[in-house]
Structures are given as structure tokens and as C-alpha cells.
Structure 1
Amino acid sequence: MENRYLQHFLYPSSLFASKEPYVIKTILGSCVAICLWDPKLKIGGMNHYMLPNWNGNDLASPKYGNIAIDKLVERMLYLGSDIKNIQAKIFGGGELLESATGNSNMIGERNIRVARLMLEEKKIPIVASSTGGRRGRKIIFFNDTGEVRHKFLEKKVY
């Protein structure tokens, strides 16, 4: 089934949305990916961010959740979506790294929290999620159907 789709691999700190049928793939550890889908227009997009919030220093890039989420919503609206029709699926945010003291810095949890808060603010319903835990994930998103396939990775992703 994947063969009839154009392919796009989504790297960290980036986003992708299209009216054309694509299968968008990414690999997540503590990063979070949000898949937005418009069932009325049958279009969708995904972001992949590394840190929860831009602190005002350096570039306001999609490396940061608050920037990546706004940019992906803007892209969906630019492609013709009405925000009332958009739904979201959230993936990732695992706690895979531990510090020397045995504690994680909770980046994954903070990444998940910014996703949930911003989507709630924008009144975009979260229709599915697979977040947290101690393993990475491979995400495959079909942007014309909204289907997401994901599998846990056995080896830790750093």
C-alpha cells in the first residue's frame, strides 16, 4: 500500500504538510510528533520537535514545540483547512535518557504537555496518542487517510 504514496522522511526540528497523498515517516525518542489531519479535505501534516518551548534566544525554529505546533497549524490553514475540521494525533515523548544521578530531565513529559496545552487552546481534538514510556517509536502517517502506524523500537534511541 505504501508504494502508491510519495514518501517524506521527517527529520527533527521540521514539519511537512501537503495536499498530495504522502506517507510521512519519522523516528522519535523524547521528541514529539503531532499529526494533524483534516478529514473533510483529506489532507494532513506532521511536525517533529525536540524541546517544549522557545525561550526567545537563537532562532524561533520548529525545534521547539510551541513554534512547531503554530507553524503546522498555519500550514494546514494555508492548504485550505478550516481549524474546526482539524484533528490531532500525538506520539513520542519517551524518557530515554537518564542523568548521572539516575533522573531524567523530563524533556519527553514537557514535550507532551506543550502539545496537549496548545491543541486544547486551539480547540483541536486529540483523537489518538501514544506517548511517554521508555522506548522510541517509528511513526508512519498517511496524510490522505489520517491513518498512523507506529511501532516501538527495541533499542533505545538517543
Structure 2
Amino acid sequence: MEVRETHYLYPSALYASRTPTTVSTILGSCVAVCLWDKELRIGGINHYMLPLWNGNGLASPKFGNIAIEKLIERMLQLGSQKKNLVAKVFGGGEVIETKSHFHIGTRNIEMAETMLRELGIAIVAKSVGGPNGRKLEYDTDTGAVRQRMIQKTI
């Protein structure tokens, strides 16, 4: 049996590789964008916490606009052409019961959808929003994503 690389993706991080890897992560209000190059059969994924970097402090992949840009850059460094990339978007749940009206999950989803549309990268699948978190496993060589919903416990 072939031994497969595995990688756990922490919040504010991204991962892309030519080596077939199963990347796992857990999302609440965070969003993960999975990019896959259908020609080279390589993929990458990010995990961001907030939608927009406001220009203060470090331009970190903690922010959606930076995380998506950096992931595309990394895919291009691996030899991808933007025209061959497709995206899958996950997360953005409203998992925290709060009186605030920040709606971080919804804003994170909107950031991914808007940026990918503006960059001409098709979203071929998505599972976003709702009250629950998600556990993802993404295979970078096939573009396949397995998702398990995480039920709230009281």
C-alpha cells in the first residue's frame, strides 16, 4: 500500500505541493479555499480567519484577501496557470452564539466568492455557512474533499 503524505493545516496557514498529500483542517467561522490544477493534478489549500487585511500590521494569511492571493502565487510557483485552476470553498459557519453583528463567517465566504470571481477562477463546489463547523480532508493530487459536519455540543 502506498504511504501518503499527510499535513494538518492550522488557521492562518496555507499548503500547496506537487507531492500527493492529504491535508486536514477544522473550520468554524474560518474559510478554506481549495485550489486544484486540473492539468498538473496538483493542489493547495488555505485556512483564513478574517475576511480583510486593513493594512495595519503584517499582511498575514490570517486574512482572506492575503490568504487567497498567497495560495494562487504558490500554485503559480509550482507551475500552474491560472486558467487551469478551479476552487472549492468550505466553512464560514456562524458557530459562536453571540449578540454581535460581525457575521465573520458570512463575510469570510463573501471574500472568497468575490475574489475568486474577480480572478476568473471557477468555484466548482462549496459547502458554506450554517450553524456547524466542518472537518475537511483534501487530497491535493485528485482535488477530492471529504467533509464531516461537527455538531455543536452544549
**TM-score bracket, shorter-length normalisation:** over 0.9
Q: Equivalent residue for 2:119?
A: 122
| Residue 137 (structure 2) aligned to one of 140, 146, 152 | 140
Kindly report the root-mean-square deviation, in angstroms, between the aligned alpha carbons of the 2 structures: 1.3
1:98·1:105 contact (CA, 8 Å) conserved in 2?
Answer: no
Q: Do structure 1's residue 48 and structure 2's residue 47 form an aligned pair?
A: yes
- Whichever residue aligns with residue 91 of structure 1, its letter is F
Summarize the alignment of residues 39-118 of structure 1 with structure 2, pairs less than 5 Å apart.
39-99=38-98, 101=99, 103-118=100-115
TM-score, structure 1 normalization: 0.93
User: Structure 2, unaligned stretches of length 5 or more?
Assistant: none
Answer yes or no: is the 8 Å Cα contact 1:77–1:83 preserved in 2: yes
Q: Give the TM-score normalised by the residue count of structure 2.
A: 0.96
SS in 1 for 2:32: strand
Who is 1:154 aligned against?
151
Identity of aligned residues (%): 59
d(CA) in 2 for partners of 1:121, 1:53: 15
- Once the 2 structures are TM-superposed, how far is the Cα of residue 97 of structure 1 from its aligned partner? 1.2
State the shift of 1:4 in Å: 2.7
CA offset digits 1:94-117 (Å, max 9, x no partner): 001132x3x552100000000000
Partner SS, residue 108 of structure 2: helix
1:53 maps to amino acid: L
- Paired amino acid for 2:4: Y
The one-letter code of the counterpart of 2:120 is K
Ranges in structure 1 where 5+ consecutive residues have no aligned partner: none
